[in-house]
Homo-oligomer: A and B are copies of this chain.
Amino acid sequence: MTTTRHESGRRSGSSRRPTQADVARLAGVSQTTVSLVLSGSGAAQRRVGEEVSERVLRAIELTGYVANPVAQSLAGGRTSIIGVYTYEPVFPHDAGNFYYPFLEGMEDEAQRLGVDLLLFTSMAPSHRGLTGGSGIRRLRVADGCVLLGRHSSPDDLAELVRQEFPFAFVGRRETPAGEVPFAGAAYQDATASVVEHLLELGHRRIALVNEYTGHESVEDRARGYRRAMAAAGLQPVTFDQGDRDAGDLLDALRASGMTAAAVSSDVVGRLRRAALDRGLTVPGDLSLARLGDPEIREDADVDWTGFLIPRMQMGAEALRIVARRLAGDEDTDAQVFIPCTLVDGSTAGPLAPSA
């Protein structure tokens, strides 16, 4: 019963939508004049006479004319669309909505800026990145783009920078190709503050536990940790979380005489549970500070000491960076760090006298 139409699904639309030409005909002016009247940009606006302008406006009213954004875009105008490219699905199925707050912030800001958000979902499945496929060009439907996702591609970044495409990353990113615009979390300062807090509690043997990747967000935390330890004249000790069992990790910390640890958010939960399993107390036997709220919400009942990632603000700021660049503000800060929220919870406590 399926009839394949010959029009191959092109937009039909009973009556063709009015164009500038239609308006011009009705107003008795040239199409150029209509365009001029509409391009509200001060200089151009003033170029057409009061009376003619009104005639055009009336004709617009009558015809119900609205500009075709596609044509505007092709002719060199703007689409008022900002793309959002994510290196992972934006809406994950699992409970922890890591990306959700980013988008939340972006949506808010998009409304404020009067732009639409184009979610590039079609490129995601392959995860080959943008440069590989037809991706990078596809972004250009939009005026600019916000990129998102942990596993970004260095090639893409380099290409984007080289092309001077107006974009911004959510989270700090680096490339040898040049300066990457981003709205990142101030992990370095946040981590330093967390360590200082542990120092104030009397701890001296404070470990850092993190991944072994060279990811920017990991690096920033490590830098903050080292900075605070160095300032206190203490020896930084870093434990790779690797794939090892949380119990083994715990044993290693204890064996090294650590009394406190600043731990990446994706293992801190398991570490705490391993401690409890061994009959230890937190923070009695070991103080634990969490470096950011994890992607997957877990141990929500635990009152973690540590910091929170300002996801909404990061999303909003990334959009603002793109918008500023589109507005021609080249001198504006294109690399923005947003402070994290510090939380003085109950997983870190004073150094036990026995220790």
A residues sitting closer than 8 Å to B (CB atoms) are: 1-5, 7-14, 17, 66-71, 73-74, 76, 79-81, 89-91, 93, 97, 100, 103-104, 107-108, 110-111, 113-125, 134, 136-138, 140-141, 143, 162-166, 325-332
Contact = CB atoms under 8 A, between A and B. Distances in A.
Contacts of A163: 13-14
Given A9-B327, A97-B100, 12 more contacts: A3-B331, A14-B163, A66-B137, A67-B134, A67-B137, A68-B74, A69-B141, A81-B141, A110-B119, A111-B124, A116-B122, A116-B123
Most B Cβ at <10 Å: residue of A4, A76, A118, A123: A118
28 contacts: A1-B331, A4-B329, A9-B166, A9-B325, A9-B326, A9-B327, A11-B143, A11-B164, A12-B164, A13-B164, A66-B134, A67-B134, A67-B137, A68-B74, A70-B70, A70-B79, A70-B141, A79-B141, A80-B122, A81-B141, A89-B107, A91-B104, A97-B97, A97-B100, A111-B122, A111-B124, A113-B122, A116-B123
A38 B137 CA distance: 16
Contacts of A11: 140, 143, 164-166
A66 B141 CA distance: 12
A134 to B, nearest CB: 4
Contact of A122 (B110, B124, B138): B110
Given A70-B73, A70-B79, A137-B66, A328 B14 contact: no
B328 A8 contact: yes
Number of copies: 2
Name the residue among A73, A141, A326 with the largest chain B CB count within 10 angstroms: A141
B122 A114 contact: yes
A10 B93 contact: no
A73 B143 CA distance: 16
Contacts of A66: 134, 136-138
Contacts of A68: 74, 137, 140
